[in-house]
């Protein structure tokens, strides 16, 4: 199972909005509404931000939102803050009854 | 409060074996799917394996299939990963994570335990 494709890095200034894409195939992202997103600070465990494409767990800021179109899922962070600087990963269920992560995206807040 | 605490960290030679444990507390352990996810030094997250609440269904990434075995003891609230025939590329921090009830995300993660494979 090949990893989902994410941009290696994105950047934005405080207050701006950024979007991170996660591209798969019809056998994973496109075939199921089982996409989730995670934030990971260096040296720490990942934190769930979005599940089932667009749902936020309680306690996660509404500045984080998720969507999907075809084989590509997206994470949008609005009102960018310095504390958002971290690595972000998507994951999807697959037709092989397994899960696959994206390669990760490093967000830099300028 | 949900807690997941991995143990079993160690240095093992290629071809060797190691067993990881993940002690769960703060929730009904027997109700959730549980997962192992790994992260090689400086690399991204990789899904490794999952097990259903009663342990009757297990799934693995192709890279570990036939070498790793996931299991659980619901009476002890503990998740396990038996790792055999370890390879250099298995060296990573291994996280246990809880599958969210009725949803696709992994909502709680342990702090991770490091597996080093080296001769």
pLDDT digits (tens, 9 = 90+) for A48-103: 999 999 999 999 999 999 999 999 999 999 999 999 999 999 999 999 999 999 99
Question: Does the pLDDT of residue B102 top 90, yes or no?
Answer: no
**Residue B6: pLDDT band with limits 50, 70, 90:** very high
Q: Is the dihedral of CA B100, B18, B74, A93 positive or negative?
A: positive
**Residue B104: pLDDT band with limits 50, 70, 90:** confident
How much is the pLDDT for B48?
98
The residue assigned the tokens 């998507």 is A90
Nearest-neighbour CA in chain A from B12: distance (Å): 22
For the record, the structure tokens of B33 come out as 């799917």
**Residue B103: pLDDT band with limits 50, 70, 90:** confident
For the record, the structure tokens of B22 come out as 């993940």
Chain B residue with minimal CA distance to A48? Answer: B107
Cα(B5)–Cα(A32) distance, integer angstroms: 31
A34 touches chain B (CB under 8 A): yes
Q: CB–CB of A91 and B50 under 8 A?
A: no
**Rg over CA atoms, chain A:** 13
Measured between beta carbons, which residues in chain A are less than 8 angstroms from residue B103?
Answer: 51-52, 55
Per-residue pLDDT, averaged over B86-109, amounts to 95
How much is the pLDDT for A62?
96
How much is the pLDDT for A38?
98
Measured between beta carbons, which residues in chain B are less than 8 angstroms from residue A98?
Answer: 47, 59-61
Q: What percent of chain B clears pLDDT 90, i.e. is strictly above it?
A: 95
| DSSP code per residue over A15-71 | T--EEEEEE--TTTGGG-S-EEEEEE-TTS--EEEEBTTTBPPTTS-TTEEEEEETT
CA atoms within 13 A on the CB side of B13: 2
Q: CB–CB of B61 and A35 under 8 A?
A: no
CA–chain centroid gap for A68, Å, is 11
Question: Does the pLDDT of residue A22 top 80, yes or no?
Answer: yes
Question: Does the pLDDT of residue A34 top 90, yes or no?
Answer: yes
Q: In this structure, are residues A35 and A90 in contact, taking their beta carbons and an 8 Å threshold?
A: yes
Measured between beta carbons, which residues in chain B are less than 8 angstroms from residue A103?
Answer: 44
Q: In this structure, are residues B34 and B72 in contact, taking their beta carbons and an 8 Å threshold?
A: yes
Quote the DSSP letter at residue A4: B
How much is the pLDDT for A2?
86
Rounded (10°) CA dihedral B70, B74, B79, B84:
-40
**Residue A1: pLDDT band with limits 50, 70, 90:** confident
Chain B residue with minimal CA distance to A50? Answer: B105
Query: To probe the interface with A, which of B39, B50, B104 has the most A CB atoms within 10 Å?
Result: B104
How much is the pLDDT for B23?
98
How much is the pLDDT for A23?
98
**Residue B34: pLDDT band with limits 50, 70, 90:** very high
């Amino acid at each position: 199972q090949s990893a989902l494709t994410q941009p290696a890095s994105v950047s934005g200034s405080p207050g701006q909005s950024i979007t991170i894409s996660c591209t798969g195939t019809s056998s994973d992202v496109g075939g199921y509404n089982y996409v989730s997103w995670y934030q990971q600070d260096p040296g720490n465990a990942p934190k769930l931000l979005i599940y089932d494409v667009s749902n936020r767990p309680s306690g996660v800021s509404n500045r984080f939102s998720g969507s999907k179109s075809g084989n590509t899922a997206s994470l949008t962070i609005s009102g960018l803050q310095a504390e958002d600087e971290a690595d972000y990963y998507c994951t999807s269920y697959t037709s092989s009854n397994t899960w696959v992560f994206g390669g990760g995206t490093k967000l830099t807040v300028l | 409060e949900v807690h997941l605490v991995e143990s079993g960290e160690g240095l093992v030679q290629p071809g060797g074996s190691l067993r990881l444990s993940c002690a769960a507390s703060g929730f009904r352990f027997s109700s959730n799917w549980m997962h192992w996810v790994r992260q090689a030094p400086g690399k991204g997250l990789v899904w490794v394996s999952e097990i259903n609440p009663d342990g009757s269904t297990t799934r693995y990434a192709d890279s570990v299939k036939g070498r790793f075995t996931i299991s659980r003891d619901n009476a002890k609230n503990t998740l396990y990963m038996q790792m055999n025939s370890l390879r250099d590329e298995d060296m990573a921090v291994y996280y246990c994570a809880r599958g969210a009830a009725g949803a696709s995300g992994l909502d709680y993660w342990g702090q991770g335990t490091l597996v080093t494979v080296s001769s």
